[in-house]
Amino acid sequence: MIICYGYPSDLEQMYAFYCARYENISYDEFLKLGIEQFSMKLNSIPKDEPLYEIIKSRTINLGKIKDKEERKYWRELKKINKIPDIYKSNDEIEQELKKELRNYNGVI
């Protein structure tokens, strides 16, 4: 899961992104937006959006970053932006653990 609609922090970021890029609407109006239309907008999120960096930090492969400082930067961001496990299904948590172990092995 790279973004969680059920996680208030992510939902607020999505709302802020929508208002900044498209139209200034109330939060209640935002919740009533069609999911497909909104997902399409989210899929083509511009790189200069704060939400883009959050998503990138969740998907980036730390093992592939050669520069030590940059790796440290993204590791911190990954930690800060992590979706709490309580929002995920057990299968997802298991998959992520495996992925993290792979990342960890790549760094060492």
Partner 1 sequence: MKYQIIKNATDDYTLKYKDKEFNYKPDVELMSKLQEAPKNARIKMLKDLAKDGISLKDFTIEQRKDGKTYFDNTNKNELENTYIQNEMLEVINDVCRKNFGLSLSELILDMDLENDKEQEKFSSELGASLMGRTP
Out of 9, 26, 61, 89, point to the residue binding partner 1 (CB under 8 A): 89
Compare residues 62 and 83 and give the one whose CB is closer to partner 1: 83
14 burial via Cβ count (<10 Å: 0-12, 13-18, 19+):
buried
Q: Is 23 in the site for partner 1 (CB under 8 A)?
A: no
Sole binder of partner 1 in the list 19, 33, 45, 60 (CB under 8 A): 33
Range 38-57, binding partner 1 (CB under 8 A): 38-39
User: Of 75, 88, 96, 103, which one interacts with partner 1 (CB under 8 A)?
Assistant: 88
Token pair in block for residue 6:
């059920």
Single residue of 23, 24, 35, 44 touching partner 1 by CB under 8 A: 35
How far is CA 38 from its chain centroid?
A: 16
Q: Which H or E run includes 89?
A: none
Query: Do residues 41 and 52 make contact, with C-beta atoms less than 8 angstroms apart?
Result: no
